[in-house]
Protein backbone atom coordinates (compact mmCIF):
# COMPACT_ATOMS: atom_id res chain seq x y z
CA UNK A 1 0.00 0.00 0.00
CA UNK A 2 3.02 2.27 -0.08
CA UNK A 3 3.63 2.13 -3.82
CA UNK A 4 2.29 5.05 -5.84
CA UNK A 5 1.98 2.71 -8.81
CA UNK A 6 -0.61 0.69 -6.88
CA UNK A 7 -4.07 0.84 -8.36
CA UNK A 8 -5.77 4.07 -7.37
CA UNK A 9 -9.04 2.48 -6.32
CA UNK A 10 -7.42 0.07 -3.90
CA UNK A 11 -5.45 2.93 -2.41
CA UNK A 12 -8.53 4.99 -1.72
CA UNK A 13 -10.25 2.00 -0.10
CA UNK A 14 -7.44 1.71 2.41
CA UNK A 15 -6.70 5.42 2.91
CA UNK A 16 -8.46 5.88 6.24
CA UNK A 17 -7.03 2.75 7.81
CA UNK A 18 -3.55 3.58 6.63
CA UNK A 19 -3.67 7.15 7.81
CA UNK A 20 -4.82 6.15 11.25
CA UNK A 21 -1.61 4.15 11.53
CA UNK A 22 0.48 7.02 10.18
CA UNK A 23 1.11 5.53 6.75
CA UNK A 24 0.39 8.30 4.29
CA UNK A 25 2.53 8.01 1.23
CA UNK A 26 3.65 5.88 -1.64
CA UNK A 27 6.99 4.13 -1.60
CA UNK A 28 9.66 4.90 -4.10
CA UNK A 29 10.43 1.36 -5.14
CA UNK A 30 9.80 1.18 -8.87
CA UNK A 31 7.84 -2.00 -9.19
CA UNK A 32 10.32 -4.41 -7.61
CA UNK A 33 10.68 -5.59 -4.04
CA UNK A 34 13.67 -4.37 -2.11
CA UNK A 35 15.47 -7.57 -1.29
CA UNK A 36 19.13 -6.69 -1.70
CA UNK A 37 20.79 -8.09 1.41
CA UNK A 38 23.43 -5.38 1.47
CA UNK A 39 20.66 -2.85 1.98
CA UNK A 40 18.81 -4.73 4.70
CA UNK A 41 21.36 -3.52 7.19
CA UNK A 42 21.25 -4.38 10.90
CA UNK A 43 20.11 -1.78 13.38
CA UNK A 44 23.57 -0.33 13.92
CA UNK A 45 24.71 2.95 15.37
CA UNK A 46 25.43 4.52 12.05
CA UNK A 47 26.85 8.02 11.86
CA UNK A 48 24.29 10.78 11.61
CA UNK A 49 25.22 10.99 7.97
CA UNK A 50 22.60 13.39 6.70
CA UNK A 51 21.92 15.58 9.72
CA UNK A 52 23.71 18.83 8.98
CA UNK A 53 23.16 19.46 5.33
CA UNK A 54 22.93 22.98 4.07
CA UNK A 55 19.25 23.28 3.18
CA UNK A 56 18.71 26.99 2.78
CA UNK A 57 17.36 26.60 -0.72
CA UNK A 58 14.08 28.32 -1.46
CA UNK A 59 11.39 26.61 -3.43
CA UNK A 60 10.32 27.51 -6.95
CA UNK A 61 6.63 27.99 -6.50
CA UNK A 62 4.10 30.33 -8.00
CA UNK A 63 0.78 31.88 -7.32
CA UNK A 64 -2.53 30.82 -8.85
CA UNK A 65 -4.39 27.94 -10.36
CA UNK A 66 -4.09 29.51 -13.79
CA UNK A 67 -0.35 29.92 -13.19
CA UNK A 68 -0.46 33.25 -15.00
CA UNK A 69 0.08 35.90 -12.34
CA UNK A 70 2.66 36.79 -9.70
CA UNK A 71 6.33 35.99 -9.61
CA UNK A 72 7.58 32.78 -8.06
CA UNK A 73 7.69 33.57 -4.34
CA UNK A 74 10.91 32.80 -2.50
CA UNK A 75 9.92 33.84 1.00
CA UNK A 76 8.52 30.99 3.05
CA UNK A 77 8.45 32.51 6.50
CA UNK A 78 6.17 35.48 6.01
CA UNK A 79 8.64 37.32 8.27
CA UNK A 80 9.83 39.89 5.75
CA UNK A 81 12.10 42.81 6.54
CA UNK A 82 12.01 45.23 9.44
CA UNK A 83 13.66 48.23 11.03
CA UNK A 84 17.29 48.09 12.26
CA UNK A 85 16.01 47.82 15.83
CA UNK A 86 13.79 44.91 14.80
CA UNK A 87 16.72 43.08 13.23
CA UNK A 88 18.85 43.54 16.35
CA UNK A 89 16.17 42.26 18.73
CA UNK A 90 15.23 39.46 16.36
CA UNK A 91 18.85 38.28 16.25
CA UNK A 92 19.08 38.24 20.05
CA UNK A 93 15.76 36.42 20.40
CA UNK A 94 16.63 33.81 17.80
CA UNK A 95 19.91 33.09 19.55
CA UNK A 96 17.92 32.14 22.65
CA UNK A 97 15.42 30.13 20.60
CA UNK A 98 18.24 28.15 18.99
CA UNK A 99 19.16 27.05 22.50
CA UNK A 100 15.50 26.15 23.24
CA UNK A 101 15.13 29.01 25.71
CA UNK A 102 11.87 30.76 24.75
CA UNK A 103 11.36 32.11 28.26
CA UNK A 104 14.67 33.98 28.13
CA UNK A 105 13.78 35.15 24.63
CA UNK A 106 10.49 36.53 25.90
CA UNK A 107 12.29 38.38 28.71
CA UNK A 108 14.55 40.05 26.15
CA UNK A 109 11.55 41.10 24.09
CA UNK A 110 9.61 42.43 27.05
CA UNK A 111 12.46 44.15 28.91
CA UNK A 112 15.04 45.37 26.42
CA UNK A 113 14.81 49.18 26.00
CA UNK A 114 15.34 48.86 22.25
CA UNK A 115 12.45 46.38 21.99
CA UNK A 116 10.13 48.93 23.55
CA UNK A 117 10.77 51.18 20.55
CA UNK A 118 9.57 48.61 18.03
CA UNK A 119 6.37 49.08 16.10
CA UNK A 120 3.54 46.95 17.40
CA UNK A 121 3.59 44.65 14.37
CA UNK A 122 7.38 44.18 14.61
CA UNK A 123 7.13 43.38 18.32
CA UNK A 124 4.36 40.88 17.71
CA UNK A 125 6.13 39.22 14.78
CA UNK A 126 9.00 38.38 17.13
CA UNK A 127 6.51 37.32 19.79
CA UNK A 128 4.99 34.86 17.31
CA UNK A 129 8.36 33.20 16.84
CA UNK A 130 8.65 32.77 20.60
CA UNK A 131 5.17 31.23 20.63
CA UNK A 132 6.29 28.83 17.92
CA UNK A 133 9.23 27.75 20.07
CA UNK A 134 6.91 27.00 22.98
CA UNK A 135 4.67 24.99 20.64
CA UNK A 136 7.61 22.92 19.38
CA UNK A 137 8.50 22.17 23.00
CA UNK A 138 4.99 20.84 23.54
CA UNK A 139 3.93 23.77 25.75
CA UNK A 140 0.68 24.23 23.89
CA UNK A 141 -1.15 26.39 26.42
CA UNK A 142 1.74 28.84 26.71
CA UNK A 143 2.13 29.01 22.94
CA UNK A 144 -1.56 29.74 22.50
CA UNK A 145 -1.59 32.57 25.06
CA UNK A 146 1.41 34.32 23.52
CA UNK A 147 0.19 33.88 19.93
CA UNK A 148 -3.27 35.19 20.78
CA UNK A 149 -1.73 38.24 22.47
CA UNK A 150 0.07 39.04 19.23
CA UNK A 151 -3.11 38.54 17.19
CA UNK A 152 -5.22 40.66 19.53
CA UNK A 153 -3.01 43.67 18.92
CA UNK A 154 -1.65 43.18 15.39
CA UNK A 155 -4.13 40.83 13.75
CA UNK A 156 -3.39 39.92 10.14
CA UNK A 157 -0.07 41.75 10.25
CA UNK A 158 1.40 38.72 12.09
CA UNK A 159 0.41 35.66 10.04
CA UNK A 160 2.75 33.37 11.96
CA UNK A 161 0.82 34.13 15.16
CA UNK A 162 -2.38 32.97 13.44
CA UNK A 163 -0.61 29.81 12.31
CA UNK A 164 0.65 29.04 15.84
CA UNK A 165 -2.69 29.83 17.49
CA UNK A 166 -4.38 27.59 14.93
CA UNK A 167 -1.99 24.71 15.56
CA UNK A 168 -2.38 25.07 19.32
CA UNK A 169 -6.17 25.20 19.08
CA UNK A 170 -6.15 22.11 16.85
CA UNK A 171 -4.11 20.25 19.47
CA UNK A 172 -6.72 21.29 22.03
CA UNK A 173 -9.46 19.88 19.78
CA UNK A 174 -10.97 23.37 19.56
CA UNK A 175 -11.58 23.17 15.82
CA UNK A 176 -13.85 26.19 15.50
CA UNK A 177 -11.21 28.36 17.12
CA UNK A 178 -8.50 26.70 15.03
CA UNK A 179 -10.36 27.56 11.83
CA UNK A 180 -10.63 31.18 12.95
CA UNK A 181 -6.94 31.44 13.81
CA UNK A 182 -5.74 29.69 10.66
CA UNK A 183 -7.96 32.11 8.78
CA UNK A 184 -6.00 35.03 10.22
CA UNK A 185 -2.88 33.47 8.71
CA UNK A 186 -4.49 32.70 5.35
CA UNK A 187 -5.91 36.20 4.90
CA UNK A 188 -2.78 38.07 5.94
CA UNK A 189 -1.28 40.41 3.35
CA UNK A 190 2.08 39.68 4.96
CA UNK A 191 1.91 35.90 4.49
CA UNK A 192 3.99 34.23 1.80
CA UNK A 193 2.30 31.88 -0.66
CA UNK A 194 3.51 28.93 1.40
CA UNK A 195 2.21 30.30 4.70
CA UNK A 196 -1.09 31.54 3.25
CA UNK A 197 -1.84 28.22 1.55
CA UNK A 198 -0.90 26.34 4.71
CA UNK A 199 -3.20 28.49 6.82
CA UNK A 200 -6.05 28.04 4.36
CA UNK A 201 -5.55 24.25 4.17
CA UNK A 202 -5.58 23.87 7.95
CA UNK A 203 -8.55 26.24 8.21
CA UNK A 204 -10.37 23.90 5.81
CA UNK A 205 -9.52 20.84 7.88
CA UNK A 206 -10.54 22.65 11.07
CA UNK A 207 -13.83 23.75 9.56
CA UNK A 208 -14.52 20.18 8.44
CA UNK A 209 -13.95 18.85 11.94
CA UNK A 210 -16.12 21.65 13.32
CA UNK A 211 -18.92 20.47 11.02
CA UNK A 212 -18.87 23.41 8.61
CA UNK A 213 -18.40 21.82 5.19
CA UNK A 214 -19.23 24.91 3.14
CA UNK A 215 -16.62 26.94 4.98
CA UNK A 216 -14.12 24.13 4.50
CA UNK A 217 -14.67 24.21 0.76
CA UNK A 218 -14.06 27.96 0.63
CA UNK A 219 -10.82 27.60 2.54
CA UNK A 220 -9.66 24.85 0.18
CA UNK A 221 -10.39 27.22 -2.71
CA UNK A 222 -8.20 29.82 -1.03
CA UNK A 223 -5.31 27.38 -0.61
CA UNK A 224 -5.71 26.10 -4.17
CA UNK A 225 -4.81 29.54 -5.49
CA UNK A 226 -1.21 28.48 -4.82
CA UNK A 227 -0.92 25.09 -6.58
CA UNK A 228 2.87 25.05 -6.58
CA UNK A 229 2.94 24.94 -2.80
CA UNK A 230 2.63 21.80 -0.69
CA UNK A 231 -0.71 22.66 0.87
CA UNK A 232 -2.02 24.40 -2.22
CA UNK A 233 -1.64 21.27 -4.32
CA UNK A 234 -3.26 19.15 -1.62
CA UNK A 235 -6.27 21.48 -1.47
CA UNK A 236 -6.53 21.52 -5.25
CA UNK A 237 -6.74 17.73 -5.14
CA UNK A 238 -9.30 17.86 -2.30
CA UNK A 239 -11.52 20.01 -4.51
CA UNK A 240 -11.26 17.49 -7.33
CA UNK A 241 -9.80 20.04 -9.71
CA UNK A 242 -7.61 19.29 -12.70
CA UNK A 243 -3.94 20.13 -12.46
CA UNK A 244 -3.36 23.06 -14.77
CA UNK A 245 0.38 22.64 -15.20
CA UNK A 246 2.10 23.69 -18.40
CA UNK A 247 3.95 20.66 -19.73
CA UNK A 248 4.78 22.30 -23.05
CA UNK A 249 8.36 23.12 -24.01
CA UNK A 250 9.43 26.30 -25.81
CA UNK A 251 10.23 25.87 -29.49
CA UNK A 252 13.82 25.96 -30.69
CA UNK A 253 14.01 27.07 -34.32
CA UNK A 254 16.92 25.91 -36.44
CA UNK A 255 18.10 29.51 -36.89
CA UNK A 256 18.07 30.22 -33.15
CA UNK A 257 19.77 26.91 -32.47
CA UNK A 258 22.61 27.92 -34.80
CA UNK A 259 22.87 31.46 -33.40
CA UNK A 260 22.91 30.22 -29.80
CA UNK A 261 25.55 27.64 -30.65
CA UNK A 262 27.81 30.42 -31.90
CA UNK A 263 27.10 32.84 -29.06
CA UNK A 264 30.23 33.27 -26.90
CA UNK A 265 28.36 34.16 -23.70
CA UNK A 266 25.92 31.28 -24.03
CA UNK A 267 28.77 28.84 -24.69
CA UNK A 268 30.63 30.23 -21.67
CA UNK A 269 27.54 29.79 -19.49
CA UNK A 270 27.21 26.14 -20.53
CA UNK A 271 30.90 25.49 -19.92
CA UNK A 272 30.81 27.13 -16.50
CA UNK A 273 27.60 25.34 -15.52
CA UNK A 274 29.02 21.94 -16.39
CA UNK A 275 32.08 22.80 -14.34
CA UNK A 276 29.94 23.53 -11.32
CA UNK A 277 30.37 27.31 -11.46
CA UNK A 278 26.70 28.21 -11.63
CA UNK A 279 27.10 31.68 -10.21
CA UNK A 280 29.61 32.56 -12.90
CA UNK A 281 27.40 30.90 -15.51
CA UNK A 282 24.37 32.98 -14.58
CA UNK A 283 26.53 36.11 -14.51
CA UNK A 284 27.67 35.37 -18.05
CA UNK A 285 24.05 34.91 -19.09
CA UNK A 286 22.99 38.13 -17.42
CA UNK A 287 24.88 40.24 -19.92
CA UNK A 288 23.62 38.27 -22.92
CA UNK A 289 21.30 40.03 -25.34
CA UNK A 290 19.11 36.90 -25.30
CA UNK A 291 18.10 37.69 -21.72
CA UNK A 292 16.66 41.10 -22.56
CA UNK A 293 13.39 39.94 -24.12
CA UNK A 294 10.81 37.26 -23.33
CA UNK A 295 11.28 35.80 -26.79
CA UNK A 296 15.05 35.63 -26.29
CA UNK A 297 14.67 33.93 -22.92
CA UNK A 298 12.31 31.37 -24.43
CA UNK A 299 14.92 30.59 -27.09
CA UNK A 300 17.63 30.27 -24.41
CA UNK A 301 15.42 28.00 -22.31
CA UNK A 302 14.70 25.77 -25.29
CA UNK A 303 18.43 25.63 -26.06
CA UNK A 304 19.39 24.62 -22.51
CA UNK A 305 16.73 21.92 -22.57
CA UNK A 306 18.16 20.72 -25.90
CA UNK A 307 21.65 20.72 -24.35
CA UNK A 308 20.32 18.76 -21.36
CA UNK A 309 21.57 21.23 -18.77
CA UNK A 310 18.93 21.03 -16.02
CA UNK A 311 20.72 23.50 -13.73
CA UNK A 312 20.60 26.35 -16.26
CA UNK A 313 17.13 25.23 -17.35
CA UNK A 314 15.85 25.56 -13.80
CA UNK A 315 17.56 28.91 -13.33
CA UNK A 316 16.09 30.35 -16.50
CA UNK A 317 12.63 28.85 -15.89
CA UNK A 318 12.03 31.30 -13.07
CA UNK A 319 12.30 34.22 -15.49
CA UNK A 320 10.59 32.82 -18.58
CA UNK A 321 6.94 32.52 -19.57
CA UNK A 322 5.16 31.36 -22.68
CA UNK A 323 3.04 33.57 -24.96
CA UNK A 324 0.07 33.14 -22.59
CA UNK A 325 2.05 34.27 -19.55
CA UNK A 326 2.47 30.80 -18.07
CA UNK A 327 5.64 29.35 -16.61
CA UNK A 328 7.07 26.23 -18.24
CA UNK A 329 6.69 23.44 -15.71
CA UNK A 330 8.90 21.13 -17.74
CA UNK A 331 11.66 23.64 -17.03
CA UNK A 332 10.71 24.38 -13.42
CA UNK A 333 10.79 20.62 -12.85
CA UNK A 334 13.51 19.42 -15.24
CA UNK A 335 14.25 15.76 -15.73
CA UNK A 336 17.65 14.42 -14.74
CA UNK A 337 19.61 13.49 -17.91
CA UNK A 338 21.85 11.12 -15.94
CA UNK A 339 21.31 7.46 -15.05
CA UNK A 340 23.04 5.25 -12.50
CA UNK A 341 25.18 2.48 -13.94
CA UNK A 342 22.57 -0.24 -13.56
CA UNK A 343 19.57 2.02 -14.15
CA UNK A 344 16.92 3.24 -11.74
CA UNK A 345 15.50 0.76 -9.27
CA UNK A 346 13.87 3.56 -7.29
CA UNK A 347 11.05 5.70 -8.69
CA UNK A 348 12.84 8.38 -10.69
CA UNK A 349 10.28 10.92 -9.51
CA UNK A 350 11.63 10.77 -5.94
CA UNK A 351 15.22 10.97 -7.16
CA UNK A 352 14.40 14.03 -9.26
CA UNK A 353 12.51 15.52 -6.30
CA UNK A 354 15.50 15.12 -4.01
CA UNK A 355 17.99 16.43 -6.58
CA UNK A 356 15.86 19.50 -7.27
CA UNK A 357 15.72 20.35 -3.57
CA UNK A 358 19.26 19.38 -2.65
CA UNK A 359 21.43 20.78 -5.43
CA UNK A 360 19.21 22.32 -8.10
CA UNK A 361 20.81 19.83 -10.49
CA UNK A 362 24.37 21.05 -9.93
CA UNK A 363 26.63 17.95 -9.94
CA UNK A 364 29.45 19.91 -8.31
CA UNK A 365 27.42 21.35 -5.42
CA UNK A 366 29.17 21.13 -2.04
CA UNK A 367 27.52 22.22 1.18
CA UNK A 368 29.35 23.94 4.00
CA UNK A 369 29.18 20.65 5.94
CA UNK A 370 30.73 18.63 3.12
CA UNK A 371 27.69 17.06 1.47
CA UNK A 372 28.45 16.58 -2.21
CA UNK A 373 26.88 16.37 -5.62
CA UNK A 374 23.39 16.12 -7.01
CA UNK A 375 21.85 14.38 -4.01
CA UNK A 376 24.14 16.05 -1.45
CA UNK A 377 25.66 12.85 -0.13
CA UNK A 378 28.08 12.97 2.77
CA UNK A 379 31.29 10.99 2.09
CA UNK A 380 30.60 8.95 5.24
CA UNK A 381 27.18 8.05 3.82
CA UNK A 382 28.72 6.91 0.54
CA UNK A 383 31.30 4.78 2.34
CA UNK A 384 28.72 3.21 4.63
CA UNK A 385 26.11 2.54 1.96
CA UNK A 386 28.21 1.72 -1.10
CA UNK A 387 31.76 1.09 0.09
CA UNK A 388 34.54 2.40 -2.12
CA UNK A 389 32.97 4.03 -5.15
CA UNK A 390 34.68 4.17 -8.52
CA UNK A 391 34.22 7.89 -9.16
CA UNK A 392 34.00 11.00 -6.96
CA UNK A 393 30.59 12.11 -5.72
CA UNK A 394 30.71 15.00 -8.20
CA UNK A 395 30.28 12.37 -10.92
CA UNK A 396 26.51 12.56 -11.61
CA UNK A 397 25.87 8.89 -12.32
CA UNK A 398 27.86 7.82 -9.26
CA UNK A 399 26.10 10.30 -7.01
CA UNK A 400 22.67 9.09 -8.13
CA UNK A 401 23.74 5.45 -7.78
CA UNK A 402 24.83 6.02 -4.18
CA UNK A 403 21.85 8.28 -3.51
CA UNK A 404 19.25 5.77 -4.61
CA UNK A 405 20.94 3.07 -2.52
CA UNK A 406 20.63 5.39 0.45
CA UNK A 407 16.97 6.05 -0.34
CA UNK A 408 16.34 2.30 -0.49
CA UNK A 409 18.20 1.81 2.77
CA UNK A 410 16.04 4.43 4.45
CA UNK A 411 12.82 2.99 3.03
CA UNK A 412 13.81 -0.37 4.53
CA UNK A 413 14.41 1.18 7.93
CA UNK A 414 11.88 -0.16 10.42
CA UNK A 415 10.87 3.34 11.54
CA UNK A 416 10.48 4.64 7.99
CA UNK A 417 8.61 1.49 6.97
CA UNK A 418 8.47 2.35 3.26
CA UNK A 419 6.85 5.75 3.94
CA UNK A 420 8.09 8.57 1.70
CA UNK A 421 7.26 11.30 4.20
CA UNK A 422 9.34 9.62 6.88
CA UNK A 423 12.06 8.83 4.36
CA UNK A 424 12.33 12.54 3.57
CA UNK A 425 12.59 13.32 7.29
CA UNK A 426 15.37 10.77 7.71
CA UNK A 427 17.15 11.92 4.55
CA UNK A 428 17.33 15.46 5.88
CA UNK A 429 17.75 14.97 9.61
CA UNK A 430 19.08 11.42 9.92
CA UNK A 431 17.39 8.16 10.96
CA UNK A 432 18.26 8.79 14.60
CA UNK A 433 16.37 12.06 14.73
CA UNK A 434 13.37 10.49 13.00
CA UNK A 435 13.30 7.73 15.65
CA UNK A 436 13.55 10.26 18.47
CA UNK A 437 10.81 12.47 17.04
CA UNK A 438 8.54 9.49 16.45
CA UNK A 439 8.96 8.56 20.10
CA UNK A 440 8.52 12.12 21.37
CA UNK A 441 5.41 12.58 19.21
CA UNK A 442 3.98 9.10 19.67
CA UNK A 443 0.61 10.51 20.78
CA UNK A 444 0.16 12.22 17.39
CA UNK A 445 -1.57 9.91 14.91
CA UNK A 446 -2.36 12.60 12.34
CA UNK A 447 0.35 12.41 9.64
CA UNK A 448 0.14 16.08 8.68
CA UNK A 449 0.21 17.18 12.31
CA UNK A 450 3.28 15.00 12.80
CA UNK A 451 5.08 16.91 10.05
CA UNK A 452 4.14 20.25 11.57
CA UNK A 453 5.26 19.06 15.02
CA UNK A 454 8.81 18.23 13.95
CA UNK A 455 10.97 20.64 15.97
CA UNK A 456 13.33 21.38 13.08
CA UNK A 457 11.98 24.07 10.76
CA UNK A 458 14.56 23.07 8.16
CA UNK A 459 13.29 19.50 8.15
CA UNK A 460 9.62 20.53 8.00
CA UNK A 461 10.35 22.69 4.96
CA UNK A 462 12.49 19.99 3.36
CA UNK A 463 9.80 17.32 3.65
CA UNK A 464 7.10 19.56 2.21
CA UNK A 465 9.24 20.68 -0.71
CA UNK A 466 10.48 17.22 -1.58
CA UNK A 467 6.96 15.79 -1.47
CA UNK A 468 5.62 18.64 -3.59
CA UNK A 469 8.43 18.04 -6.10
CA UNK A 470 7.65 14.31 -6.08
CA UNK A 471 3.95 14.81 -6.76
CA UNK A 472 4.60 17.24 -9.60
CA UNK A 473 7.17 14.94 -11.18
CA UNK A 474 4.68 12.04 -10.97
CA UNK A 475 2.05 14.20 -12.65
CA UNK A 476 4.52 15.22 -15.33
CA UNK A 477 5.25 11.53 -15.97
CA UNK A 478 1.53 10.85 -16.36
CA UNK A 479 1.44 8.60 -13.30
CA UNK A 480 -1.13 8.39 -10.53
CA UNK A 481 -0.30 9.93 -7.18
CA UNK A 482 -2.28 8.04 -4.51
CA UNK A 483 -0.04 9.46 -1.77
CA UNK A 484 -1.44 12.88 -2.68
CA UNK A 485 -4.97 11.44 -2.65
CA UNK A 486 -4.35 10.09 0.85
CA UNK A 487 -3.41 13.42 2.39
CA UNK A 488 -6.07 15.29 0.41
CA UNK A 489 -8.89 13.26 1.98
CA UNK A 490 -7.83 12.94 5.59
CA UNK A 491 -11.10 14.26 6.98
CA UNK A 492 -14.37 12.86 5.67
CA UNK A 493 -13.30 12.04 2.11
CA UNK A 494 -16.72 12.73 0.61
CA UNK A 495 -17.29 16.06 2.34
CA UNK A 496 -15.72 18.40 -0.19
b/e for 37-58, b at 16 or more Cβ within 10 A? eebeeeeeebeebbbbbebebe
Task: Report whether 220 contacts 204 (CB < 8 A).
Answer: yes
Q: Is 83 left (phi over 0), alpha (psi -120 to 50) or beta?
A: beta
Task: Report whether 24 contacts 483 (CB < 8 A).
Answer: yes
Q: Which residues, 6+ apart, have CB-to-CB distance to 158 below 8 Å? A: 121, 124, 125, 127, 128, 150, 151, 188, 190
Of 79, 139, 63, 54, the C-alpha closest to 369 is 54
CA 357/CA 355 separation, integer angstroms: 5
CA 17/CA 384 separation, integer angstroms: 36
Backbone φ and ψ of 399, nearest 5°:
-60, -45
- Could you list the active site residues? 358
CA 358/CA 376 separation, integer angstroms: 6
CA 356/CA 336 separation, integer angstroms: 9
Of 410, 310, 407, the C-alpha closest to 359 is 310
Amino acid sequence: MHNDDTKHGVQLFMTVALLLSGVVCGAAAAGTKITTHSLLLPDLKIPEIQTELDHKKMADQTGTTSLMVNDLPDDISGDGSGSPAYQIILKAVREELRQSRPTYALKILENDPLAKKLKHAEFDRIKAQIAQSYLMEGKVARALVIAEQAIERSGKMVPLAGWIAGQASWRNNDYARAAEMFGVCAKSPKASAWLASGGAYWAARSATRAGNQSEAKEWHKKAAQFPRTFYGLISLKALGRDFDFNWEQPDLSSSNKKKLGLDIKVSAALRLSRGGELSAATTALGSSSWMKTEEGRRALLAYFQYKKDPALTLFLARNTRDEDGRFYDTALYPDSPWEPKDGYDVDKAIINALIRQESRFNPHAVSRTGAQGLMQIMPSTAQYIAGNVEHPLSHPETNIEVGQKYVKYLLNDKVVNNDLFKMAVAYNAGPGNLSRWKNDLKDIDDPMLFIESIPSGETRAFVERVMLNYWIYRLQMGKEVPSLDAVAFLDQPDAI
